[in-house]
Amino acid sequence: MTTIALYNIKGGVGKTAGCVNLAYLAAEEGKKVLIWDLDPQGSASFYFSVEAKLKGGIKKLLTGESQLDASIQATEFENLWMLPADFGNRHLDVLVDSTKQSKKKFKSLVGSLQGEFDYLFIDCPPGIGPLSEAIFAAADYVVLPTIPTTLSIRTYEMAQQFFEENQLDPSRLIAFFSMVDIRKNLHNEVIGKYYKHKQFLRNYVPYLSTVEKMGSKLAPVAWFAPSSYAAQCFREVWKELKKKTSA
């Protein structure tokens, strides 16, 4: 199982859109895919019309009183399952603390899914804290959707610095540009600068209204608009990410 966490310290950068669409593309290829919605806002759960409730709540999961797989729900899409968000997740940063033991527990929770799925996609909440640290330790790859602006690049650099300081393998940190508006000079400049960066994907997701429509269609773009430019872009990003994460 390959675990890919869609993460950014910032909100509204396309983490959930990336998570939902990339996971769907993997499932479409016949892989068994699980999305774990760790954001208490529950946007990924909402897109898949999955009730945002965990059996017994997140606390029982972390204490081992309940099993993760008991909370896995089927979606209406083939090969795609969901571990829904729970509003109780807002306490996750308290339950998952900075101790090694806590990180280990989270990692073993993720490990308990090993063998059941080909891919685990984690939709992370924004911010940085013990939970993000636990996710960084447990996931194989941390993928940052990044809007090509100076401030967003800084959030990539902060994640990079965190990896360095904690001796985490920098090749596990990958970024791709999202919500790109190529008419904007700044977007063009930033993409030009990072085009050859080792950890940035060449392909990106432009700012497109098709992506926004997911909110009313309640489905990934490749499902409700398979031949759209948006679907095409997500396919290219997935193709490149798949290659990079299977190396």
The site partner of 153 among Mg ion, ligand ADP, none (C-beta below 5 to 8 Å per kind) is: none
* Rounded Cα gap, residues 124 and 19, in angstroms: 9
What one-character-per-residue DSSP string does 137-163 give? Answer: HH-SEEEEEE-SSHHHHHHHHHHHHHH
Q: How many residues bind Mg ion (CB under 5 A)?
A: 4
Tell me the closest approach of the beta carbon of residue 213 to ligand ADP, in angstroms. Answer: 8
Task: Establish if 153 lies at the interface with ligand ADP (CB under 6 A).
Answer: no
What phi and psi, each to the nearest 5 degrees, are found at residue 81?
-120, 165
For Mg ion, the nearest residue by Cβ is: 16
Task: Establish if 80 lies at the interface with ligand ADP (CB under 6 A).
Answer: no
With respect to ligand ADP, which residue has the nearer C-beta, 103 or 201?
Answer: 201
Task: Establish if 130 lies at the interface with ligand ADP (CB under 6 A).
Answer: no
Among positions 25-64, residues that touch ligand ADP (CB under 6 A) are 43
124 within 8 A of 144, measured Cβ to Cβ: no
* Rounded Cα gap, residues 33 and 13, in angstroms: 23
The site partner of 76 among ligand ADP, Mg ion, none (C-beta below 5 to 8 Å per kind) is: none
Nearest of 142, 128, 138, 131 to residue 170 by alpha carbon: 142
Where does residue 64 fall: left (phi above 0), alpha (psi -120 to 50 degrees), or beta otherwise? Answer: left
Tell me the closest approach of the beta carbon of residue 90 to Mg ion, in angstroms. Answer: 14
Query: Positive or negative CA dihedral for 29, 240, 8, 69?
Result: positive
Task: Establish if 155 lies at the interface with ligand ADP (CB under 6 A).
Answer: no
The answer for residues whose C-beta is within 8 angstroms of residue 130's C-beta and 6 or more apart is: 93, 96, 97, 98, 102, 103
Tell me the closest approach of the beta carbon of residue 119 to ligand ADP, in angstroms. Answer: 18
Task: Establish if 155 lies at the interface with Mg ion (CB under 5 A).
Answer: no
- Judged by CB under 6 A, the residue of 5, 14, 46, 138 near ligand ADP is 14
The site partner of 84 among ligand ADP, Mg ion, none (C-beta below 5 to 8 Å per kind) is: none
Instruction: Calculate ∠ Cα 6-127-8, nearest 5°.
Output: 30
Tell me the closest approach of the beta carbon of residue 5 to ligand ADP, in angstroms. Answer: 12
Nearest of 7, 91, 85 to residue 40 by alpha carbon: 85
Binding footprint of ligand ADP on the chain (CB under 6 A): 8, 11-17, 43, 178-179, 205, 207-208, 211-212, 214-215
Q: Which residues bind Mg ion (CB under 5 A)?
A: 15-16, 39, 43
